[in-house]
Amino acid sequence: MSTALITYFGAFEGVAENPTQQVAEYARAHLEQTRPHLNLVLAELPVAFDTSANELRQLIKAHKPDAVIATGVAVGRDKISLERIAINCDDARIADNAGDQRQDTPIIGGAPAAYFSTLPYRAIFSELGNTYPLEISNTAGTYVCNHVFFHLMHTLADTGIPAGFIHIPAIGNSLIPQTLTAHQDTGGVEGKTVPMLPLETVGGVLSRAVELTLDPIAS
């Protein structure tokens, strides 16, 4: 039996309700039907630099997943973003939920400047990109999303375990656009409008991303 770990975040400044939990739960419901033998673990990470990384490492140690997909919301984006690269830098105009505001701070001293996702993002994009609003993104921001992404790849470096990060836009029917704030540092796109996608669209893409990541392992 394969084990997959999906992480998501709670609320933070400008996002009173984080849609990543809804999307993760939608994916779980879908995968219970399509992959009944999959052990899918969902976990919320705190929107805080230090504790998010610590909890991520504990989850990996406890569950020994065969694949890990971390998710976050990027308000203002109009596509689901398969993040390609995590950079070794914390830098944000807003503090995390613990009050920690960082500028030009290495995430891990002495670690590489960047890590690439090991998810099959090109295969995911090739299959779904013509049907769903999907993109391969080259920036996960410099806030807690990128921080978790970097720690994830550092922790699993040389293990052969596929892992990476997916940013989602705001979700329709779950959030009021006027209550949302886009922050460039969090991977968002600042502007006057907040694009929104249906939960079914985003959840469906996440579900299929899990399946395509695990298929080579199963075979």
Task: Give the active site residue among 30, 147, 151, 167.
Answer: 167
In sequence order, the 6+-apart residues with CB closer than 8 A to the CB of 210 are: 4, 6, 27, 31, 35, 38, 40, 67, 69
CA nearest neighbour of 6 among 22, 24, 31, 26 = 24
Task: Name the residue type at position 41.
Answer: V
Instruction: Say whether 145 is catalytic.
Output: yes
For the record, the structure tokens of 192 come out as: 């006057």
Q: What is the DSSP letter of 94?
A: S
DSSP letter string, 35-83 = -TT-EEEEEEEPSSHHHHHHHHHHHHHHH--SEEEEEEE-TT--SEEEE
Pinpoint the alpha helices (H) of the chain. Answer: 20-34, 49-63, 121-128, 144-156, 199-218
Instruction: Say whether 83 is catalytic.
Output: yes
Q: How far apart are CA 107 and CA 105, in angstroms?
A: 6
Instruction: Say whether 151 is catalytic.
Output: no
Enumerate the active-site residues: 83, 145, 167
